[in-house]
With several copies, the nearest count.
Chain A
Amino acid sequence: ACGDDSDAAGDSGPVTLRLGYFPNITHAPAVVGVEKGIFKEKLGGDVTLETKTFNAGPAAIEAVFSGALDATYIGPNPTVNAFSKSKGEAVRVVSGAASGGVALVVKPGITSAEQLRGKKIATPQLGNTQDVALRYWLKEKGLETTKEGGGDVKVVPQENAQTVETFASGAIDGAWVPEPFVSRLVNAGGTVLVDERDLWPDKKFVITNLLVSTKFLKAHPDVVKKLVEGQVAANEFVNTKPDEAQQAISDHIGKITGKPLDTKLIKQAWPTLEFTNDPIASSLKTGLDHAVAVGLTQPVDLDGLYDLKYLNEVLKAQGKPEVTQP
């Protein structure tokens, strides 16, 4: 494992950075950064970049835990799980990547929370951000839910792919899901009842952030800084040349899945997402509070999760506004 072989915090010698991400629209900066060679360029000749793609968070976290991965783009839930399960030791968030892109899509005809009474609403996974967001929102609207799926509104956690199938077949009445599933449900005849951005201050909440293993961060802070540079540059690219970025995403997904993703779908989902370097730490914290409020988790201490020093150095050097370190 290359991550462990240079324990001395030296910056010399060849280093391999093993980076994980999902071939997915919410991971656009990662996909574009890899596809367009932005990371390679920023990391320079001394650092070899190895990329791995994942289908779901747990495997990525397992890889980080086992030392098979040095950094990964990942959603807020696995981030919290990795941090809390390792008692705050294993991982650090060094940058944000994306915000937004989540909505409650329901069958046409449902126009208010009250109409959801007795209905079945899907979420990606019990206790994940979307699940919590749905339950908290319902609670605020005075609708009870239970962890086991009972209550006024029946919450059914299931894989997103399956949500599309069950929504299409009429087995569920709606779903609180991230992109690109929002767009896909809309295409399957759904209407957006709640755009989650509307529930957050500044319409911002984290959907993807960049995580590095603490070990790697300690051993190669310089490499992490270069990685963050790459992330910032990738976001720059994504935000300034959306068409090219969308094409790159489509091509990249095509390489892995054997079929390029329809750019129409990407275009449709694009406006709901915001690609920002700010990890929006407050939204993660708030989300956790909500989870505690709806009785899904015990309080978790997130102190020390964020290490935004490098991000702020990079932003400062580029004359961009820094983000607040919580």
Chain B
Amino acid sequence: MASDTLAGSARTDAEISGLDALEIAGREKPPSRAIRLWAATWPKFAALALAVAIWQAVVWSGWKEPWALPGPAVVFEDLGRYALSASLWEGLATTGRRALVGFAAAVAVGLLLGLGVARVKVLRAALGSMITALQTMPSIAWFPLAILLFQLSEQAIFFVVVLGAAPSVANGVIHGVDYVPPLLVRAGRNLGARGLNLYRYVIAPAALPAIVAGLKQGWAFAWRSLMAGELLVVIAERTSIGAQLTYARDFSDAPRLMAIMIVILVLGLLVDTAFGAADKAIRRRWGVLDQAGN
């Protein structure tokens, strides 16, 4: 292993605090791909194992009756049964499709709204504060309007999802655009980028990190709104994760409820991994990746 400045000089060692040591450790080049993969994986498994262990310990302590707090064994058994049943996969298909369509619509609306508000003064004065206000409106408040507008169709669900997620996306865009370094905007203008081209070549890429962050928050809003909205319309012959979640609760079926929670967490993890990969790619391009230590 290469020695280095910091190790070679006693004063630095003495001064390094705990966090710093971790940061510096993070900056060291990992010797191989396998070790890198392992370094990224073991903490996840450790965290998982720890969580399950604590859960099991609490259950064994007899703190609550098993029907109030079922143990991991019961839940994973139910999860297994759930995974083998058609209802999970049909539910995933329905909910997944709705999530994608709804999120796509929300992103489209949010991007347009965000760009408009961020760059057009009148719109900002008129709607700027409204965006956060809309964001705080709980989904159920929109249900009556959704039904008025779309009856019991899937559009009603999309309506709720878009109203839930678009403000979040828009806020991400506005934040990103607001913090584009003025020097880069000037550079872009001087290079001949006006109007839409300025967005395309300067503002959009400069705001991209914040936009991705906004999309991530927007996804969370979309998903939560969807879980609520799927109760709005239970369309014939179509089961959904949101409906199953509520039914599990309605039937006081704690193991199934927790099984569905695990499914939701896993989905969330997958989506976050996608966003994380996008973010990491951006950070690598921008040259801000190294500092965070991964």
Contact = CB atoms under 8 A, between A and B. Distances in A.
Nearest to B244: A258
Among the interface residues B67, B143, B235, which one has the most CB atoms of the partner chain A within 10 A? B67
Interface in A43-66: 50-59, 61-63, 65-66
A164 B237 contact: no
A171 B252 contact: no
A150 B236 contact: yes
Given A63-B147, A256-B243, A166 B249 contact: no
Nearest to B238: A148
Nearest to A188: B67
B256 A85 contact: no
Interface stretch (A92-100, A105-113, A154-162): A154-162
B41 interface: no
Contacts of A160: 250
Interface string A64-78: 011111000000011
B67 A65 contact: yes
Contacts of B238: 148
Contact of A158 (B68, B234, B253): B234
Q: How large is the interface on A (under 10, 10 to 19, 20 to 34, 35 or more residues)?
A: 35 or more
A194 interface: no
B143 A257 contact: no
B32 to A, nearest CB: 44
B88 A81 contact: no
B25 interface: no
B235 A52 contact: yes
A90 B67 contact: yes
Interface string B41-80: 0000000000000000000000011011000000000000
Nearest to A146: B237
B80 to A, nearest CB: 14
Nearest to A50: B236
Interface residues of B, number: 37
A171 B253 contact: no
B135 interface: no
B142 to A, nearest CB: 11
Given A89-B65, A158-B231, A166 B244 contact: no
Contacts of B64: 65-67, 169
Given A68-B151, A161-B249, A259-B248, A90 B65 contact: yes
B147 A68 contact: yes
A89 B90 CA distance: 34
Contact of A55 (B231, B235, B253, B254): B231
Contact of A171 (B152, B231, B236): B152
A85 B244 contact: no
Given A85-B252, A148-B239, A256 B234 contact: yes
Given A86-B65, A156-B234, A258-B239, A165 B143 contact: yes
Contact of A59 (B85, B91, B233, B235): B233
B87 interface: yes
A18 B244 CA distance: 23
Contacts of B1: none
Contacts of B231: 55-56, 59, 158-159
Contact of A65 (B152, B232, B252): B252
Nearest to A265: B251
B148 interface: yes
Interface in B226-283: 231-239, 243-244, 246-254, 256
Given A66-B151, A126-B250, 14 more contacts: A53-B233, A58-B250, A59-B143, A66-B144, A66-B147, A81-B251, A125-B247, A146-B237, A156-B234, A156-B236, A158-B232, A161-B252, A255-B239, A258-B244
24 contacts: A50-B236, A52-B152, A53-B234, A58-B249, A62-B144, A63-B152, A127-B251, A148-B238, A149-B236, A159-B231, A165-B148, A166-B151, A168-B67, A168-B252, A169-B147, A169-B151, A171-B151, A184-B251, A188-B67, A255-B237, A255-B239, A258-B87, A258-B239, A259-B247
Interface of A: 1, 18, 23, 50-59, 61-63, 65-69, 77-78, 81-82, 85-87, 89-90, 120, 125-128, 146, 148-150, 154, 156-162, 164-166, 168-172, 184, 188, 253-259, 261
Kindly list the 3 A-B residue pairs having the minimum CB-CB distance in the complex, ordered from nearest.
Answer: A258-B87, A68-B151, A257-B247
Interface of B: 64-65, 67-68, 82, 85, 87-88, 90-91, 143-144, 147-148, 151-152, 231-239, 243-244, 246-254, 256
